Structure 1
C-alpha cells in the first residue's frame, strides 16, 4: 500500500471517528415539538374540567383546545445532528437547555413554580371572565409574603385578603401603604381581613424601616386579590400552564353566557391573560399551532404580540389576532355570523 493510500485511509478513519463523536456527543440544547391539546369544555378523569358554582350556566358546544409544547426531558440529551434536523423543521425549535431547565433549580422547584403560575393564571382567567359576563368582582390586596421576624410575623398570613386598615377601606396595595405611612413608628395598624372565609381583625405594631427610621413598616408584601360570589373549580391536566389563561377564561365565559360561543366548532388558542382581560405573548407558537391543527382545530387564537411568528407557519386554520379577551369573543361571534371580514388577522 502506497504512502498516499495510507494517508487517505487514516484521514478517512479520522473523519469517521470525528463524525461519530459529533453524532453522539450531547449539546446543551433541548428541542420543542408540538405538544398535546386538551378540550377544556370536556372532561378529565371523569369530571368536567371547568365547573362554575353559584351562577347560572348554559350548555356549550364544540371544543376549546388549550395547546402545549413538548420539551426534551431533563434526563434526555440532544445531539448536534438531531438539533440541526429540528432547526430545519418548521414546527420544531431548538433552545438553550438552561432556558428550559435553569441551573440550580430542581425538578421539584420547577414543578412548584409551574403550579404557582397556573394558580395565578386561573384566578386571572376567572376574574377576566366574570368581568366580561357582567358579574361583580371586588378587588382587594392579598398578603403575598410575611417577613420572618417582622412586625406581622405569626399575625398576618400568606393569602389573607385585606379589606380595611384602621377602619379605612382599601382596594390596592398602594392604599394599604398610604394608611401605614400615615402612622407613627410603634403605632398599631388594625387589619380587617378575610382568612379561609372568616372575617377577623389582626393588630400589628409597626416598626421602623431599615432604610429610613422615620418610616413605619409592617413587613409584608402584597399582590392584587379578588372577591366574587361564583366559584370556579378547575380540573385540568398537567399540560395547562400560564399560557392557557386565554383559553381558560374563554371557557368560563362560554359557560356563563346564554349564547353558545363555539357554535360546534373546534377552536384552539394560547396566550396569558391578566385580570383586566389583556392577552399576553407566549413561546412556541409554531409548535402550538401544529398540535392544534393536527387535533382538528378550525380556528386558532393568537396573541397579537405573537403574530409575526404565526404568519410564518403554513396552516389551513383561521388565524385570529387577539389583544384582549373581548377580541376573542367578538371574533368568534363574527365567525358564527358569517362576518369573517370583521375578524382581526395577523
Structure 2
C-alpha cells in the first residue's frame, strides 16, 4: 500500500482544517441583522381604530390622499444570524444584511432596544409637533397634538408626522390637500427647526411604499445615492432637506411643475 509523502500529508491535514473552519463559519452566529420591507401607515388615517393624529385647540379639516410613513422589519437583536442567512439576503432584492450595531446601537438586549426606540419615537413626535406648529404660527400652549402609532419605534417618521399635522390643520393654506389626492410616502427625521435628517434603510422602505400604493417618495437628499440604487418602477423620488423645501416641492407637484430630483 503506498504511503503518503510528508508534503501530501501536510496538505491533507491543512485541507481538513480548512473544511472544519468553513463548517464552523457556516453555522457560527454573525454580528449582523437581516432586514426587509416593513409596515407602512397613513398618518392621516387610523391605526387599529384610533386616529394616528388627534388635534385639539384649533379647527381641523377633512383630508384626501395619503401620507404614508414607512418602516423596515429586522430580526431581533438576540436572534442568531448565520452565513446562510446572509448569503440568501445577498441574492434577494427584498432583504439585506446590515451590521447589528447599526440597526440596534443600544446593545443586544431586546428590552434596552425597545425602550430606546420608544424614546426616540417620543422625541421625534415632539419635534414633529414643534416643527408643524412653528410653521403654522400656533402656540403649543393652546393647540394640543397627540400622535398614536403602535408597534413602530425610532425617529424616522418625523417628517411625515409634521406633514400630517399641517395637512390636518391647514392643508396648503388655500383649501387643498398637501397630497393633491396622491399616495405619498416618505422617510426622514425632523427637528423643531424643520431640518430633515437621514435615516437609513431607504431601498427597503421604497419597496414597502410601492407595495402599499405610493407613487411619490420623499427622501432626505443625503440619501439620494441609496434611494436611486434600486428604485421600484412607478415610484417618483423627491429629495428634501427642510420642511419649507418639502412643502414647496409638494406645491410644485400639485401644480404639475418640475420637482427636485436626485
How far apart, CA to CA, are the structure 2 residues paired with 1:246 and 1:239?
15
Residue in 2 that maps onto 1:318? 236
Q: Which runs of 5+ in 1 are unaligned?
A: 138-226
Among candidates 117, 126, 129, match of residue 129 of structure 2: 126
CA RMSD of aligned residues (A): 2.7
What's the TM-score, normalizing by structure 2? 0.85
Structure 1 residue 18: Cα displacement: 5.8
Cα distance in 2, alignment partners of residues 111 and 287 from structure 1 = 21
Cα distance change of structure 1 residues 85 and 104 upon mapping to structure 2, 3 Å threshold: closer
Provide the secondary structure at the position in 1 that maps to 2:39: coil
Instruction: Compute the displacement of 1:309 (Å).
Output: 1.3
Map of 1:144-183 to 2, 5 A cutoff? none
**Number of matched pairs:** 252
Contact 1:90 1:286 in 2 (8 A): no
Higher alpha-carbon Rg = 1
Higher share in helix: 2
Say which of 137, 156, 166 aligns to 1:243: 156
2:211 to 294, 305, 323: 294
Q: Which one has a larger percent strand, Structure 1 or Structure 2?
A: 1
Give the aligned partner of residue 45 of structure 2. 42
Relative to structure 1, the CA distance from residue 2 to residue 70 in structure 2 (aligned partners, 3 Å threshold; closer, same or farther) is: farther
1:109 maps to which of 107, 112, 117: 112
TM-score normalised per structure 1: 0.66
Q: Bigger CA drift: 61-70 or 90-99?
A: 90-99
Name the CA distance, whole Å, in 1 between partners of 2:81 and 2:120: 28
Give the distance between the partners of 2:100 and 2:145, measured in 1 at CA.
36
- C-alpha separation in 2, matches of 1:248 and 1:63: 12
* Residue 335 (str. 1) matches residue 253 (str. 2): yes
Are 1:228 and 2:145 an aligned pair? no
2:163 counterpart SS class: helix
Deviates more, 1:73-82 or 1:293-302: 73-82
| Contact kept? 2:78, 2:109, Cα under 8 Å | no
**Where does the alignment leave 5 or more consecutive residues of structure 2 unmatched?**
none
Match of 2:69 in 1: 66
Asked if structure 1 preserves the Cα contact closer than 8 Å seen for 2:54 and 2:145, the reply is yes
- State the secondary structure of the residue aligned to 1:32: strand
Task: Tell me what 1:309 maps to.
Answer: 226
Deviations 1:266-304 (A, max 9, x none): 110000001111101111111111111111111000011
Q: Check conservation: 2:31, 2:99, Cα contact below 8 A.
A: yes
8 Å contact from structure 1 (residues 30, 95) kept in 2: yes
Question: Which secondary structure state, in structure 1, belongs to the residue aligned with residue 203 of structure 2?
Answer: helix
